[in-house]
Structure 1
Amino acid sequence: MAVYDLEEQEQIDNIKTWWKQHGTLIAWVISALAAAVVAWQGWNWYQSQQATQAGALFGALQQAMVKQDTQKVRLLAGELTEKFGGTAYAPLGTLMAAKLSFAAGDNKTARAQLAWAVAHGKDEIRDIARLRLAAVQLDEQAYDEALKELANPPAPAFVAAYAELKGDVLVAQGKVAEARSAYQAALDASRAAPGPGVQLLHQKLDALGGAA
């Protein structure tokens, strides 16, 4: 049996006393940390499973898009939003479905799909969804709603497209001077990255009697 001197025995007694006072708390903290680690690992696994399943659905949606199967695309997009709305696949799939719905003349469904993509999409996806929603609203002569969507500042890459569509809406409202300003803003934004749309902008401005 080990023999301790008085100083060592006092240290041992102090440790025992400290453990009696704080041991329960330490054990609880360790248990809480272990539970947090397990929970974090479980969440990562869940996220991975969600992404995998959503990716498979998105792949099926892409195939249905190629086949122009509107009904199947709508069903798959609905499943994406209902089951995997928190993944990046859902807004993108809904955006694609809306394009097919609009092409099929189903503006009501297209509007609902685009509104969902605007509410749940991020960055470029949200900007594209908002632009397309405004285009559908223009088609339905819901001009004020379209202008409201276009009033939200997009990323720099979409500034010209937003301004041009705003000009189209204003032309439909008969607001020539405001439309001219919108087209000019679109043209100014396009100068940094010229493309085939620039010529069309010039034509629109010329039609309104505006010089670019």
Structure 2
Amino acid sequence: MAYDHEEQEQVELLKAWWKKNGNLITWIAIAGLLAFAGWTAFNTYQHKQALEASAMYDEVQRAASLKDNGKVQASAAAVVEKFPATSYAAMASMAAAKSAFEAGDLKASKAQLNWVVEKAKSVELRAIARLRLSSIALDEKNFDEGYKQLNGEFPKDFEGDVLDHKADLLVAQDKINDARVAYKSALDKMAEKHAGRQLVQIKLDALGGPLESTNDVAPAKK
């Protein structure tokens, strides 16, 4: 095909530009392709990890349903060791904490819960773990530890639960009026459909008597 003079100049300019910049553009294109390939491979890897972690977590649940605490602890440890950054690791630790508690091994239960508090990405699971640790501290009559756990970080939705657990500690210390105030404050913070609301009301009713003060117990520090 014949080119006129102007077209020929444009072609030559294009060739010159490509000679100068072509390698850079090629490397940019290759980098883009590698990034895409890497992203695809990462997603595939993540998906594969999630499937494997899920299967291992199923083993934890299966052992828990059979009340086999030894198997629960071993299976949970395997999930944590292999997939520590996944939500399955935190859930496995929570299941192991429950199993150990039911088996009377409070030391193991606390160790699992502390792992969740320190390592779990889910703020909700960390909050639940702190509440469970405060309950164990109550069983051990370690009230300072119980309050320490309740003064940790909690999402706003847990304010009622924190006050409920503080009230339990106050009852155990025979600070009945303060406990009444805390239970009442817990009810005020809890939504109508909150799962623990009825139990808090029962505990408040069981204490009986009028409130002697109107000072609410402070919620956990933010």
Q: What's the TM-score, normalizing by structure 1?
A: 0.88
Residues 183 and 197 from structure 1, CA distance in 2 versus in 1: closer, same or farther, beyond 3 angstroms? closer
Cα shift at 1:84:
1.2
Q: Which residue pairs with 2:187 in the alignment?
A: 187
Checking the alignment, whether the CA contact within 8 Å between 2:180 and 2:204 is kept in structure 1 is no
CA distance in 2, matches of 1:108, 1:121: 23
- In structure 2, the residue matched to 1:199 is 202
Secondary structure, counterpart of 1:3 in structure 2: coil
- Report what 2:162 is aligned to: 162
Q: Which has the higher contact order (CA 8 A, sep 6+)?
A: 2
Pair 1:12-2:11 in alignment: yes
Cα distance, 1:62–1:191 mapped onto 2, change above 3 Å? closer
Compare 123-132 and 3-12 and name the one that shifted more.
123-132
Query: 8 Å contact 1:161–1:186 — kept in the other structure?
Result: yes
- Aligned residue number for residue 50 of structure 1: 49
Please list every run of at least 4 consecutive aligned residues from structure 1 whose deviation after the TM superposition is greater than 6 angstroms: none
What is the CA-CA distance between 1:153 and the residue it aligns to? 2.9
Could you list the runs of 5+ residues in structure 2 that have no partner in the other structure? Answer: 215-222
Deviations 1:166-205 (A, max 9, x none): 112233345555433322211323473352441122213x
The answer to whether the 8 Å contact 1:190/1:198 transfers is: no
Could you say if the C-alpha distance between residues 142 and 88 of structure 1 is closer, same or farther in structure 2, counting changes exceeding 3 Å? same
Q: Is the 8 A contact 2:187 2:200 kept in 1?
A: no
Whole-angstrom distance in 2 between the partners of 1:200 and 1:171: 10
RMSD: 2.2
3-state DSSP class of the match of 1:128?
A: helix
Which has the larger helix fraction?
1
Tell me what 1:79 maps to: 78
Q: Number of residues paired by the alignment?
A: 208
- Separation (CA, whole Å) in 2 of partners of 1:199 and 1:191: 16
Unaligned residue ranges in structure 1 (runs of 5+)? none
SS in 1 for 2:85: coil
Task: Write the distance in 2 (CA, Å) between the matches of 1:48 and 1:191.
Answer: 36
**Aligned equivalents of 1:29, 1:162: Cα separation in 2:** 54
Within 2, Cα distance between the matches of 1:195 and 1:210? 19
Deviations 1:22-73 (A, max 9, x none): 1111011001101101110111111111111111111111110011000100
Tell me what 1:145 maps to.
145
